[in-house]
Amino acid sequence: MSRRTLSLAVAALVAVGLSGCTSNEPTKDSSSGSGKLAVSSTTDKCELSTKEAPAGNLVFNVTNKGTKVTEFYLLGEDGLRIVGEVENIAPGLSRDLVVRAPAGKYFTACKPGMVGKGIRSDFTVTKSDANLEPTGDDKVLADNASTQYGSYVKDQTEQLLTQTTTFVGLYKSGKDDEARKLYADARMHWERVEPVAESFGDLDPKMDLREADLEPGQKWTGWHRIEKDLWPPKSGYTKLTPTERTTIADQLLKDTKTLYTRTRTAKYPTDKISNGSKELMDEVATGKVTGEEEKWSHTDLWDFQANVDGARIGFEGVRPIVKKKNAALDSSIATKFTALQKLLDKHKKGTGFKLYNELTPAEIKELSTGVNALSEPLSKLTAAVTL
Amino acid sequence: MSEEQPTDGEQVSADRGRLSRRRMLGLTGTGAAVGAATFAGGLGIGRATAAEPAAPPTGTSRTYPFYDAHQAGIVTPAQDRLHFAAFDVTTTSREELVTLLQAWSLAAAEMTQGRPAQAEETSYDSPAADTGEADGLPASGLTLTFGFGPSLFRDAQGKDRFGIADRQPKELKRLPHFPSDNLNPVRSDGDLCVQACADDPQVAVHAIRNLSRIAFGTAEIRWSQLGFGRTSSTSKAQTTPRNLFGFKDGTANLKAEDTKDVDTHVWVGGQDDPAAAWMTGGSFLVTRRINMHIETWDRTSLREQENIIGRDRPHGAPLSGGTEFSEPNFTATGRAKEPLIAMDSHVRLAHPTTNKGAAMLRRGYNFTDGNDALGRLDAGLFFLAYVRRPSTQYIPMQMRMSREDTMMEYVQHTGSALFAVPPGAKQGGYIGQNLFT
């Protein structure tokens, strides 16, 4: 389970406009050829080291030398369209704004105290050799990605609800064999959209907490509580009574319904989708490939596959944007998804997979290497889709 | 505590009568001359002419007295290297245990001054009294700090092991299970511990090796940990180092110079626990081996890293603004009234204001123990913290952090122990003497 997504969800919510370029990452792209542009924001001034720069990736290094929290904007010629912005720069701190800017007339603006129109100046981007493909239809692509991903989440949570309903029914009525059969398959729908499910901080601990994550006195509920009862340790474990089973099962179903309701209307900006893909692979790296997630059932490879599915869908959604902006990254990620899937396919068994404890150390290492190979380029996806 | 606290990084004895000579010895380096004749030269002499050094001693020539009101290695300016060892006592004899503590104290008093562990002559036909690998090396600021685990007092069945169970401090219990703990029992707990800190790894390892050798037959190493790159500052004269996440660590740590805070938060007071009055002037040491998921951290955007920590990476300034040592402003908000320092950020959750004013003196180290079977770095932070009351300082803070800190996504606690660190030994006495007399 992950708590990291909480802050990301917040970050995504405050991101303005899908074409908003709020990367903190200085770019290695040398197309602008001119290093960083220094911006000094004080209470009543907004000074730039230069009034013009060649087209390409521009890096504004904004330092807040005033006493109030400030923001910096690069605005289009009409003074309305936000080309890029960086927010929440506290006094004394510096932040980079990286934007891809074609030749034209712009405005820069510092906004000390984050109110009003800001302190504006003219800014000119001159023609250069930098290869800047038109970016005007980015918003359409981003909207498409968002819509597609939203549908995917809706579909997965719907299937999750259906399967969970069946699963808890079997479990409550003591049909343990059938419940065990359904466990891993039902959970795949959860694992495919894990970053979304986890962004609801109240639900995640109730639904997906592992025994090791418990604190003293905390009530253990959710999937893994049932997992342990269905695959009990050989000694030192007392199976839950029918009454206890009912309580745990009803709680899981109730929480699943809440998740279902909340995901009907949730929105997914592109950076949230791309970050979600990266996080899913982090989940694989820290929990699934180590066999820590499904300690009792050993069905880690089902979760593994589902995380990869979710990451791939997220990637495919934003792919038209990446293809345009960074074709090399796009092909690297695509190739590595294929390679990792091949590795996973080796362990398919019937409609499912081998159990984690049937894998050899060499096979686990091979999977881990595949995860690393994919995760590295995937970690650059967000910067690529937001720039 | 009424004793005068150190006012700079130098360990100052409360006993002013003996102070000047001992201090002079330490500063001039002549005390180290037996084991390290080559080093007693230039540096030390220059030092000796300065009546009261304004800054803590630096460089490998520095020495700290072993016999003192408090044990060295707690408020001592954190050295660069660590070798920490926890021991299981193998004897059932109280007498042998006391003999070990006496022998350890003598050896520690020698080694911290840059001399061999045992001075006596030995036959050419027997092993040398000292293992020899630190010969010719300066004292390198070596400190040796000893502690007692709860299992020294009572065994797993609660039985009194050495007739000291009635003196077990009420604060000395195994640490509770914290959420997400994945503890390796062979890297946790222990009856005795020794923290060896020095600016030269060879000196720290030499010390543990010789103490371990002295202990054979009475105690044996249960687990040990090497550390490099101190991850905190314990003196205002030190710059703030970085942990393996690349962030400055220990900015807000208690510093030796803050003697009032150190009295409040580190040293056990005379009235704290009447049954364990022998702990007066001592402290409690929490050790936690914290593995870092280095690879996933390195794939995380700088934006997210800074939000998790709550400080900026280049300077260590809080995200509410200012410079490294600016006090974080947790009420400051940015766009959409979101707090500039996230609610689940490390700096907010670790801050005394979030923890009923609780603070601690950390002196942790980075570690890398090679790699694991999946090719990932087996690396992280070996956390060491000295507190007066674990039950109100470390435990509630860690409970909150394990539950809420977003950084937990990138770390896993793999070892854990708590030790009672007695006060310093008097000249001619030994560590823990008040416990056994």
Q: Mark yes or no for CB contact B182/A212 under 8 Å.
A: yes
**Chain B residues touching A91 at Cβ < 8 A:** 321-322
CB contacts under 8 A, B 237-266 vs A, are none
Q: Mark yes or no for CB contact A24/B303 under 8 Å.
A: yes
Residue with tokens 């299970």: B177
What is the secondary structure of A150-174 as a DSSP string? Answer: HHHHHHHHHHHHHHHHHHHHHHHTT
Tell me how close the Cα of B307 comes to any Cα of chain A, in angstroms: 8
Among candidates A69, A93, A364 on the partner chain, residue whose Cβ is nearest the Cβ of B312: A93
Among candidates B301, B340, B403 on the partner chain, residue whose Cβ is nearest the Cβ of A215: B403
Tell me how close the Cα of B274 comes to any Cα of chain A, in angstroms: 29
Residue type, B367: F
As a whole number of angstroms, the distance between CA A308 and CA A305 comes to: 5
- Does residue A214 belong to the interface with chain B, where contact is any CB pair within 8 Å? yes
Among candidates B296, B322, B374 on the partner chain, residue whose Cβ is nearest the Cβ of A282: B296
Pick from A206, A151, A162: nearest CA to A188? A162
Tell me how close the Cα of B418 comes to any Cα of chain A, in angstroms: 18
Beta-carbon contacts below 8 Å between A and B: 126
Tell me how close the Cα of A365 comes to any Cα of chain B, in angstroms: 5
Lowest mean pLDDT among A117-121, A130-134, B35-39, B49-53: B35-39
More confident position, A213 or B219: B219
Segment B12-36 mean pLDDT:
34
Average pLDDT, chain A: 87
Q: Mark yes or no for CB contact B374/A382 under 8 Å.
A: no
Residue type, B267: W
Tell me how close the Cα of A24 comes to any Cα of chain B, in angstroms: 6
Q: Mark yes or no for CB contact A376/B336 under 8 Å.
A: no
**Chain A residues touching B340 at Cβ < 8 A:** 69, 88, 90
CB contacts under 8 A, A 153-212 vs B, are 212
Q: Beta strand B192-198 with B143-148: parallel, antiparallel or unpaired?
A: antiparallel
- Asked if B142 contacts B196 with a C-beta cutoff of 8 angstroms, the reply is yes
- The fraction of chain A above a pLDDT of 70, given in percent, is 89
Closest-CA residue of chain B to A286: B293
Q: Does the pLDDT value for residue B18 go beyond 60?
A: no
Q: Does the pLDDT value for residue B395 go beyond 80?
A: yes
- Does residue A219 belong to the interface with chain B, where contact is any CB pair within 8 Å? no
Lowest mean pLDDT among A19-33, A127-141, B258-272: A19-33
Closest-CA residue of chain B to A292: B182
- Does residue A14 belong to the interface with chain B, where contact is any CB pair within 8 Å? yes
pLDDT tens column, B305-342: 999 999 999 999 999 999 999 999 999 998 888 899 99
* Confidence at residue A280, expressed as pLDDT on a 0 to 100 scale: 93
Segment A70-86 mean pLDDT:
89
pLDDT tens column, B163-210: 999 999 999 999 999 999 999 999 999 999 999 999 999 999 999 999
CB contacts under 8 A, B 150-179 vs A, are 176-179
As a whole number of angstroms, the distance between CA B182 and CA A292 comes to: 10
Residue with tokens 């309305």: A80
- Does residue A247 belong to the interface with chain B, where contact is any CB pair within 8 Å? no
For residue A33, the tally of other CB atoms under 10 A from its CB is 13
Lowest mean pLDDT among B235-239, B323-327, B390-394: B235-239
Among candidates B322, B338, B376 on the partner chain, residue whose Cβ is nearest the Cβ of A92: B322
Q: How confident is the model at residue B3 (pLDDT cuts 50, 70, 90)?
A: very low
Residue type, B191: D
- The fraction of chain A above a pLDDT of 90, given in percent, is 67
Closest-CA residue of chain A to B403: A215
Q: Does the pLDDT value for residue B149 go beyond 70?
A: yes
* Domains annotated on chain A, with CATH: 10-126 (2.60.40.420), 136-167+185-203+261-386 (1.20.1420.20)
Segment A87-99 mean pLDDT:
90
What is the secondary structure of A67-130 as a DSSP string? Answer: SS-EEEEEE-TTS-SEEEEEEEE-TT-EEEEEEEE-SEEEEEEE-GGG-SS-EEEEEEEE--S-
Among candidates A7, A93, A286 on the partner chain, residue whose Cβ is nearest the Cβ of B344: A7
Segment A10-18 mean pLDDT:
34
- Does residue B3 belong to the interface with chain A, where contact is any CB pair within 8 Å? no
Token pair of A121 as six digits: 């100046």
Token pair of B173 as six digits: 């219990």
* Confidence at residue A195, expressed as pLDDT on a 0 to 100 scale: 87
- The fraction of chain B above a pLDDT of 90, given in percent, is 76
* Confidence at residue A337, expressed as pLDDT on a 0 to 100 scale: 97
* Confidence at residue A215, expressed as pLDDT on a 0 to 100 scale: 80
- Does residue A365 belong to the interface with chain B, where contact is any CB pair within 8 Å? yes
Q: Does the pLDDT value for residue A336 go beyond 60?
A: yes
Q: How confident is the model at residue B23 (pLDDT cuts 50, 70, 90)?
A: very low
The contacts of residue B313 (CB under 8 Å, 6+ apart) are B246, B247, B302, B305, B306
* Confidence at residue A18, expressed as pLDDT on a 0 to 100 scale: 33
Among candidates A4, A71, A218 on the partner chain, residue whose Cβ is nearest the Cβ of B409: A4
* Confidence at residue B154, expressed as pLDDT on a 0 to 100 scale: 97
Residue with tokens 């593994």: A304
Q: Mark yes or no for CB contact B303/A4 under 8 Å.
A: no
Segment B277-297 mean pLDDT:
97
* Confidence at residue B57, expressed as pLDDT on a 0 to 100 scale: 54
* Confidence at residue A271, expressed as pLDDT on a 0 to 100 scale: 87
Closest-CA residue of chain B to A216: B177
pLDDT tens column, B255-268: 999 999 999 999 99
**Chain B residues touching A364 at Cβ < 8 A:** 373-374
**Chain B residues touching A7 at Cβ < 8 A:** 304, 307-308, 342, 344, 406
H or E element, residue B289: strand B283-292
pLDDT tens column, A247-304: 999 999 999 999 999 999 888 888 889 989 999 999 999 899 999 999 999 999 999 9
As a whole number of angstroms, the distance between CA B62 and CA A325 comes to: 57
Top residue of A68, A73, A85, A93 to mutate, by most chain B CBs within 10 Å, is: A93
CB contacts under 8 A, B 268-307 vs A, are 293, 295-296, 299-304, 306-307
**φ, ψ dihedrals at A267, nearest 5°:** -115, 150
- Does residue A43 belong to the interface with chain B, where contact is any CB pair within 8 Å? no
More confident position, B31 or A354: A354
pLDDT tens column, A37-65: 999 999 999 999 999 999 888 889 999 99
